[in-house]
């Protein structure tokens, strides 16, 4: 083969030689590429793991906050009677039924009274529930149904005249369902509350059979003054009008005169001259000892008003009657007193604990959607704890 001057064989292009002799591109090392990909995947997994952990931490914080704010408070203990526990949530449900019932009739929940009465009722009704079977008192489902029907009919004011039983039943379910929704309580929970109400009434009737229909009664008068009032002048005027007379009508007239001049009672009480009427002992039981001990026609010594501590009460009894029929409204109150006494006796056989303070009170107010200016504040001798002691409850630390 003949080569030209450039050393390229004849019949071959110059660049053809370069294609043969020039080395090809360098191929990457497969092992290095595999290691690099594994490192990249590992970094991605670490990144996802960190993100996952952060997400779990955030979710955990949110969940913990939800539990602390919404789950734990309703489940916290308020009252325990033996082994039966009642929580804040139980108390709120009971109060919501009361609240809704009052609103339906134009009333309003009194947070200074109703909340504490609910606490007391929880204890009393549980003692009744545990004791009633031993005296043969129970409540059937039919009795609960009947009581709920009466209750809803009263609240709704629905007229059933001329309506078929199907229509009445349908309207009842609608009204009852609305009441449950507005009270934020289930039918089962409401039926349990109604059952306790019926049971309490049955036990009261049972215990109240011991209350006499005829009893000694006192014709009682009362006026209200303040410590700074002219009490000496009041007493002198009364004695001048009465002198030694024991005629009930004269005593009543004299008392009416000083009542209208000195008493701080409401207008209606002033109009009737401070007359409370014929009362058996136990109707205003905080003052029974005064009513039973004062001499007929004489003014009793001023005594501190148990409800309004800045006021003084002065009683007068114009006459007594050893055998007088007890009025129906007084009879009902005496039966209620008899039930209270019976519960206090039964309480000795039960372990009762209660936890109630200003924080719980404020939380309940919030749940009920009520704004109150009476929220108690903790003090060295917390009045709420004193209330529990006065009611025979033991406050847990």
* Cα–Cα distance measured from residue 270 to residue 248, given in angstroms and rounded to the nearest whole number: 19
Q: Decide: residue 94, CB within 10 A, 0-12 exposed, 13-18 middle, 19+ buried.
A: buried
The confidence score (pLDDT) of residue 379 equals 39
* Cα–Cα distance measured from residue 322 to residue 214, given in angstroms and rounded to the nearest whole number: 9
More confident residue, 358 or 219: 219
More confident residue, 170 or 60: 170
The mean pLDDT of 153-159, rounded to a whole number, is: 78
More confident residue, 51 or 229: 229
3-class secondary structure per residue, 286-303: HHHHHHHHCCCCCECCCE
* Cα–Cα distance measured from residue 202 to residue 143, given in angstroms and rounded to the nearest whole number: 11
The confidence score (pLDDT) of residue 195 equals 96
The mean pLDDT of 99-118, rounded to a whole number, is: 87
What domains are there in the chain, each with its CATH number? 77-209+333-395 (1.10.4030), 216-325 (3.10.50.40)
* Cα–Cα distance measured from residue 136 to residue 233, given in angstroms and rounded to the nearest whole number: 59
The confidence score (pLDDT) of residue 71 equals 47
Percent of the chain past pLDDT 90, that is, above it, reads 53
On whether the CB atoms of residues 9 and 1 are closer than 8 A, the answer is yes
How does pLDDT run across 282-341, given as a tens digit for each residue? 999 999 999 999 999 999 999 999 888 889 999 999 999 999 999 999 999 999 999 999
Q: Which of 92-101, 218-227, 248-257, 342-351 has the lowest mean pLDDT?
A: 92-101
The confidence score (pLDDT) of residue 1 equals 46
Q: How far is CA 70 from CA 10, 62, 80, 89, 277, in A?
A: 97, 12, 22, 11, 52
For 312, other C-beta atoms within 10 Å of its C-beta total: 19
- 193 pLDDT band (50/70/90 cuts)? very high
* Cα–Cα distance measured from residue 148 to residue 169, given in angstroms and rounded to the nearest whole number: 12
Phi/psi zone of residue 392: left (φ > 0), alpha (ψ -120 to 50 degrees), beta? Answer: left
* Cα–Cα distance measured from residue 196 to residue 139, given in angstroms and rounded to the nearest whole number: 9
Longest pairwise C-alpha distance within the chain: 170
* Cα–Cα distance measured from residue 222 to residue 43, given in angstroms and rounded to the nearest whole number: 90
- Can you list the alpha helix ranges (DSSP code H) found in 76-186? 88-104, 114-131, 141-156, 165-183
For 242, other C-beta atoms within 10 Å of its C-beta total: 19
Q: Is 262 a residue whose pLDDT tops 80?
A: yes
Q: What is the pTM of this model?
A: 0.70
Reduce the DSSP state of residue 348 to 3 states and report it.
coil
Percent of the chain past pLDDT 70, that is, above it, reads 81
* Cα–Cα distance measured from residue 241 to residue 254, given in angstroms and rounded to the nearest whole number: 6
């Amino acid at each position: 083969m003949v080569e030209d001057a450039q050393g390229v064989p004849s019949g071959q292009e110059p660049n053809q030689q370069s294609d043969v002799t020039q080395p090809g591109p360098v191929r990457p090392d497969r092992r290095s590429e595999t290691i690099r990909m594994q490192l990249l995947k590992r970094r991605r997994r670490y990144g996802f793991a960190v993100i996952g952990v952060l997400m779990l931490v955030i979710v955990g914080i949110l969940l913990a906050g939800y539990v602390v704010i919404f789950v734990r408070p309703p489940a916290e203990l308020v009252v325990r009677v033996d082994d039966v526990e009642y929580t804040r949530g139980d108390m709120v449900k009971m109060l919501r039924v009361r609240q809704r019932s009052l609103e339906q009739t134009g009333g309003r929940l009194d947070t200074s009274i109703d909340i504490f009465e609910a606490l007391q009722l929880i204890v009393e009704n549980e003692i009744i529930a545990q004791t009633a079977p031993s005296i043969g008192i129970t409540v059937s489902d039919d009795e609960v149904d009947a009581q709920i029907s009466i209750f809803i009919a009263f609240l709704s004011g629905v007229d059933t005249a001329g309506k078929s039983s199907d229509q009445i039943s349908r309207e009842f379910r609608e009204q009852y369902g609305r009441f449950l929704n507005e009270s934020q309580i289930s039918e089962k929970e409401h039926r349990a509350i109604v059952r306790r109400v019926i049971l309490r009434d049955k036990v009261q009737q049972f215990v109240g059979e011991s209350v006499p229909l005829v009893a000694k009664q006192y014709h009682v008068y009362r006026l209200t003054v303040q410590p700074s009032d002219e009490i000496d002048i009041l007493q002198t005027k009364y004695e001048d009008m009465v002198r030694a007379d024991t005629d009930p009508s004269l005593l009543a007239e004299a008392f009416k005169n000083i009542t209208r001049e000195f008493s701080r009672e409401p207008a209606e009480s002033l109009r009737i001259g401070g007359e409370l009427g014929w009362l058996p002992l136990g109707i205003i039981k905080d003052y029974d000892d005064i009513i039973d001990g004062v001499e007929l026609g004489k003014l009793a010594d001023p005594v501190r008003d148990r409800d309004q501590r800045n006021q003084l009460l002065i009683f007068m009894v114009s006459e007594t009657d050893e055998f007088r029929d007890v009025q129906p409204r007084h009879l009902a109150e005496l039966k209620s007193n008899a039930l209270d006494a019976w519960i206090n006796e039964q309480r000795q056989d039960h372990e009762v604990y209660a936890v109630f303070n200003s924080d719980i009170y404020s939380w309940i107010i919030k749940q009920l959607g009520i704004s109150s200016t009476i929220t108690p504040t903790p003090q060295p001798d917390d009045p709420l704890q004193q209330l529990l002691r006065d009611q025979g409850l033991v406050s847990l630390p």
